Structure 1
Amino acid sequence: MPTEEALRPLAETMTAWRRDLHAHPELGFEETRTAALVASELRAAGIAVEEGIARTGVVGTLRGTGGGAGGNRAIGLRADMDALAMEEATGAPWSSRSPGRMHACGHDGHTAMLLGAAKWLAANRERFAGTVHLIFQPAEESRGGAQAMLSDGLFDRFPVDAVYGLHNLPGLPLGHVAVPKGPVLASSDTWEVRFRGRGTHGAKPHLGTDATLAAAQFIAALHSIIAREMDPMATGVLSVGHIAAGHPEAPNVIPAEVLVRGTARALTPEVRDLLEARFAGLARGVAGTHGVEAVPLYTRRLPPTVNHAAQAAVMHRAALATVGAGAARDDHPPITAGEDFACMLEARPGAYAWLGTGEPGHPEGFHHNPHFDFNDAALTTGAAFLCGIVEAELGA
């Protein structure tokens, strides 16, 4: 399988792509410049391209010329393209030129790595049989890009036997690859409760029913679900992210309604079901104690990202060939962030890996932070690993 040295000649090109993308970040479903760059580079490599999938998605199709058992198989390699609505603080020469937009999660690096892998694979078609679909996905950051591509017929138009993705991971040593067994990332759901009481003058609370008191006690009790109703060996998260009530110019008014919103995370369907059921029961119970109404709403957004065993084994084999036994891991613990690649893994067998980018260059330089910047030294490792997955699945 290809090693990092095989991809080294593309390092400078991938770095240039990555920094250009970083300087021109685009939000989900707005990645027109990014998609145009991707399509242009794929066509320049002789790869068939279809654009406009789920508005701004791009798929390149590459067919191997080698013989072997993989000739009738097809796989997908996926990279996400979108940025976040954030102001950048890295001070890098390639910093964002778009105010309020920033590649703070490394999708610029993912796109550059898959483009690099595509270039190498196109020049070495004899090394594999079968078909590789290069999936450049829009809108991973909470805008539903994976599901939008699926709804636009992604796997009907580009059938695959398996689909693979990866994500950079600061803190995992540079040059390391981790392919977890089973759960990789948590479900990502949103919940809210509207507490409705009877507003009154702040000096006369006995004339109303206080929704703020009910909301406060609900928030304090919320974490008892995790602490006392879940198996201590299971993983779940309930966090409050937004509270709205009253008016800042009227602190002497007890408001009639309080809105509390938050996020829920789980690694298994059982814990997810528990969080949904118990958050609503708790809200109604607390509200009833205070004589107010609770209107709970739980919105399922993303399922857990769970690797399929056979495809995780393929990825681990590619990691071993790319970075060696000392740097290829299959025991990385799950993380409670979410990832919409989970939707693709529900539609087709596949797996998801972590690419180590080393310690961040700034103390706060982790994902979704204004000081984050992708480590370009990881580009050749990531691209070689992606090529290795192709050879592990389709090698001639």
Structure 2
Amino acid sequence: MESTLQAQLKSWRHHLHQHPETGFEEVQTADYVGRILETLGLEVHRGIGGTGLVASLTAGDSRRVIGLRADMDALNIVERAPERAHASRTHGKMHACGHDGHMSMVLGAARLLAEARDFDGTVRFVFQPAEEHGRGAKAMMADGLFERFPVDAIFGAHNMPGMRAGTFATRAGGIMASEDNFVIHVKGRGTHAARPHMGVDPIVIASQIVVALQTIVSRNLDPGAQAVISCTEFITDGLRNVIPSNVIIKGDTRSYSHEVQALLESRMREVSEGICRANGADCVFEYTHEFAPTINSPEYVDLATQAAAKIAGPDSVDANVQPMMISEDFGAFLQVVPGNFVFIGNGEAAGQGGVPLHNACYDFNDEILQTGARYFAELARLALPLSG
């Protein structure tokens, strides 16, 4: 028989999964979460950074404060799980990244801490909108998140398909990469496909740029550093018998430090503009910073691994996991306050949590809900210990 806590966590998670909302549209989601927190006796503040909310719980008289963060937004994906009783009821939107599970775990931690009050200080439960496109954390901070609700440290987690269910992984320093987006517009001169000498072919020029960009990581970056440059779109205004006038190359880069970000941007601009100039074409280069790298603070890595080991056992905790090139909006918070981010294994088999993130058949593994809730609650106890 399921425990009362597990039944509650599943109920919350399934409701959230059935009613997905995408970035900055999480009105019903925030209302649902806020009402649960209020029934637990917490003070709830809504509308932070749009649809974000913060709930605070204080026990004892310590002035120490920590934050526990969950992301709220879903994705614009059609769910492909007709047999799933709790499938999305909003066509074209689904929780394909597990934010429904993240919210439920943090709500579970709030319930555990509200019932026991076995800590000394204040815990802030931060529910963030618009994680998927890297806008929500900045929006909350621009709305005075840490001025209105200061914290000494903040903690987050993400489920990870392919990791054994209920295991934990983290590391000091960079655990997830920044994401920068680029657009390179090559402006040539269109002409008939049979008379290429009459024009300036932007396809040939843009192709040279795509190939040349791949030399930046291998020849300009210290081999001890890590980065990825990926060209993901190649768009022209040509036809089958028309050499185009314009080619647009789009893509993104991933790295772990501001210095590497600056190097990539500088060299990509120089390579793109130089190749265009050498071939008589014009170049417009755009480079934007979307996600900050997620860089864990060493002292809070130790705290997180202690909490995880107490919940899952020492053998289920990897304190020096290989960093991943995925990006997470939590990194923006860690630029302002210290803290830690962990991965929690969602499962390895396809039917037991192993379906990849952002897949139309993905589902959060209910079996790890209690693990996550108890982990977050234990973090609070360790960070805000009772005196004596």
User: Is the TM-score greater than 0.5?
Assistant: yes
The question of whether the paired residues in 1 share the 8 Å contact of 2:162 and 2:345 is answered with yes
The question of whether the paired residues in 2 share the 8 Å contact of 1:163 and 1:350 is answered with yes
Aligned to 1:58: 53
Q: CA deviation at 1:34?
A: 0.7
Aligned pairs (5 A) from 1:213-228: 213-228=204-219
User: Structure 1-normalised TM-score?
Assistant: 0.94
Q: CA deviation at 1:39?
A: 0.5
Sequence identity percentage:
41
Aligned length: 383
Aligned residue for 2:350, secondary structure, equals: coil
Unmatched tracts of structure 2, length 5 or more? none
Match of 2:260 among 271, 279, 290: 271
Aligned to 1:176: 167
The question of whether the paired residues in 2 share the 8 Å contact of 1:140 and 1:146 is answered with yes
Match of 1:95 among 78, 82, 87: 87
Q: Does 1:211 align with 2:202?
A: yes
Unmatched tracts of structure 1, length 5 or more? 1-6
Aligned to 1:31: 26
User: Structure 2-normalised TM-score?
Assistant: 0.96
Aligned residue for 1:72, secondary structure, equals: coil
Q: Which runs of 4+ in 1 moved over 4 A?
A: none
Aligned to 1:115: 107
Aligned to 1:162: 153
The question of whether the paired residues in 2 share the 8 Å contact of 1:189 and 1:301 is answered with yes
Match of 1:356 among 340, 345, 369: 345
Match of 1:251 among 226, 229, 240: 240
Aligned pairs (5 A) from 1:260-299: 260-299=249-288
Aligned to 1:196: 187
Aligned to 1:371: 361
In the aligned structure 2, how far is the partner of 1:59 from the partner of 1:370?
Answer: 30
In the aligned structure 2, how far is the partner of 1:72 from the partner of 1:171?
Answer: 40
In the aligned structure 2, how far is the partner of 1:291 from the partner of 1:314?
Answer: 58
Segment drifting more, 167-176 vs 76-85: 167-176
Aligned residue for 1:238, secondary structure, equals: strand
* CA RMSD after TM alignment: 1.5
1:307 aligned partner, one-letter code: N
In the aligned structure 2, how far is the partner of 1:360 from the partner of 1:158?
Answer: 40
The question of whether the paired residues in 2 share the 8 Å contact of 1:28 and 1:143 is answered with no
Deviation digits for residues 290-335 of structure 1, max 9, x if unmatched?
Answer: 2111111111122210001111111111112111111122011111
Deviation digits for residues 10-45 of structure 1, max 9, x if unmatched?
Answer: 111111111111111100100111111101100101
Aligned residue for 1:94, secondary structure, equals: coil
The question of whether the paired residues in 1 share the 8 Å contact of 2:161 and 2:354 is answered with no
The question of whether the paired residues in 1 share the 8 Å contact of 2:153 and 2:337 is answered with yes
Aligned pairs (5 A) from 1:323-342: 323-342=312-331
